Chain A
Amino acid sequence: MTTGASRTAGGRSGGAATLTLVRAINEGLRRAMEEDPKVLVMGEDVGKLGGVFRVTDGLQKDFGEDRVIDTPLAESGIIGTAIGLALRGYRPVCEIQFDGFVFPAADQIITQLAKMRMRSLGALRLPVVVRIPFGGGIGAVEHHSESPEVHFTHTGGLRVVACSNPADGYHMIRQAIRCEDPVIFFEPKRRYWDKAPVDLDADPDLPLDKGRVVRPGTDVTLLAYGPMVRTCLEAAVAAEEDGRSLEVIDLRSLSPLDTELVVESVRRTGRCVVVHEAPVFSGYGAELAARITEQCFYHLEAPVLRVGGFSTPYPPSRLEDHYLPDLDRVLDAVDRTFAY
Chain B
Amino acid sequence: MTYQNPPMPPRKSATFDDHTLAEIRRAAATGIYDIRGGGTKRKLPHLDDLLFLGASMSRYPLEGYREACGTGVTLGTRFAKKPIALKIPITIAGMSFGSLSANAKEALGRGATLAGTSTTTGDGGMTDEERGHSDILVYQYLPSRYGMNPRDLRRADAIEVVVGQGAKPGGGGMLLGQKISDRVAAMRDLPKSIDQRSACRHPDWTGPDDLEIKIGELREITDWEKPIYVKVGGARPYYDTALAAKAGADVVVLDGMQGGTAATQDVFIEHVGQPTLACIRPAVQALQDLGLHRSVQLVISGGIRSGADVAKAIALGADAVSIGTAALVAIGDNDPAYEEEYRELGSTAGAYDDWHEGRDPAGITTQDPELAARLDPVRAGRKLANYLKVMTLEAQTIARACGHNHLHNLEPEDLVALTLEAAAMARVPLAGTDWYPGKAGF
Q: Do A and B bind each other?
A: no
